[in-house]
Amino acid sequence: MSKRKKRPKKERQGGLQGIFFRGLVTVLPVALTVVVFGLIVQGLNQYVVGPINRAIYWSLEHNRLGWEGLEWIGIDPTQRKYLDESRLPVDLRDLVRASPAGTNDPSFREGLELHRAEHLGLVYDFDDLAIDPVRLRDDVKAAVHPLVGVAVSILLVVWLGWLVGGFLGRKFMQSVDRALHMIPIVKSVYPYSKQLVDFFFADSELEFDTVVAVPYPSPGIWSIAFVTSSSMRTLLEVTGETMITCFVPSSPMPMTGYTIFLSAENVIPLDLSVDEAFRVTMTGGVLIPPRERLGGPDEIAAFFEARAREMASGVEPVQGGPEIQTPDREAMGE
């Protein structure tokens, strides 16, 4: 087998332009990683940790048991620094204005205690208690770190997982599932969201780990796809063939793509993991695993140069792909 002459490597761009592009190639992967994780953290904080923290703060601020907990960490909501004079009743407000001592006047303090005692019910209302909620919340946040919400979120997920693992938990979740299927607007979204989550996380015989090549978008053109499920009954009855459902991811965003139904005979299983298939799709075929790669840039470039010369000379183009150099086993002592 004759060896092809290797093409000289491209010269690197020099000057300021080359330095800029090398810096860009270095920074972009890090920047994209930071952006992705930043979006994940922001979403979790906005929709999971944030609401849980607000619920924790509210439970500490608006009931007697919560106030006892605040006193245990050194916060007394009845202190004068949390007083909001604009929320005081008219008589107490006039008393503050008329007294030279202001809010330190003993008569005012006694009247404030009586007023608050009348409004200490099951849930504390800051308007009735003349408490500044913003100032109190700032001190509560400083004493109770937001990471508490992260810990509570993890414990809540673990607890729910343990709960639904039992008989009563499964019955309860079945009741909730039926109720959500009956709500007019929710039932248009919830069933499909549940199917998507079950597809990725539930234990099933058909998992999202089968990577194949499918003739899409037309015969002779092969695309990477994931086998998602069996096909629909109607297709089997009409075609008489065993059909499967595949998801064809698009480049460079594999989270979007197309759902296709095709005969199982037209599918070629690939020796790729899901992660490897995603890398191939996201990079436009640049990051192909070494075990699946045929030839390097020199062999591919030489192949297309030879085909271009044959087409220009009117000769029938050669068939097949780039010529691959194989190791000489005899020279290796095998």
Single-letter amino acid code for the residue at 20: F
pLDDT in tens, the chain (334 residues): 444 444 454 455 567 777 887 788 788 878 888 888 888 888 888 888 889 999 999 999 999 999 999 999 899 999 989 999 889 988 888 888 888 888 888 888 888 889 888 888 888 999 999 999 999 999 999 998 888 888 888 888 888 888 887 878 888 888 888 888 888 888 888 887 777 676 656 554 445 568 899 998 888 889 999 988 887 888 888 888 888 888 898 887 777 788 889 888 888 899 888 888 888 888 888 788 878 777 666 667 777 777 777 777 765 555 555 444 444 434 434 4
Share of the chain residues as helix, strand and coil, in percent rounded to the nearest 5: 55, 10, 35
State the pLDDT at residue 217.
87
The residues pairing with 226 across neighbouring beta strands, listed in sequence order, are: 211, 247
DSSP assignment string, 294-308: -S-HHHHHHHHHHHH
Q: Which two tokens stand for residue 16?
A: 């300021």
| HEC assignment per residue over 110-169 | HHHHHHHHHCCCCCCCHHHHCECHHHHHHHHHHHCCCHHHHHHHHHHHHHHHHHHCCHHH
CA–CA distance from 32 to each of 8, 26, 37, 41, 285 (Å)? Answer: 33, 11, 9, 14, 19
- Tokens standing for residue 140: 């509560």
Instruction: Give the pLDDT score at 275.
Output: 83
Determine the Cα–Cα distance for residues 195 and 176; give it in Å rounded to an integer.
15
Give the span between the Cα atoms of 165 and 159, in whole angstroms. Answer: 10
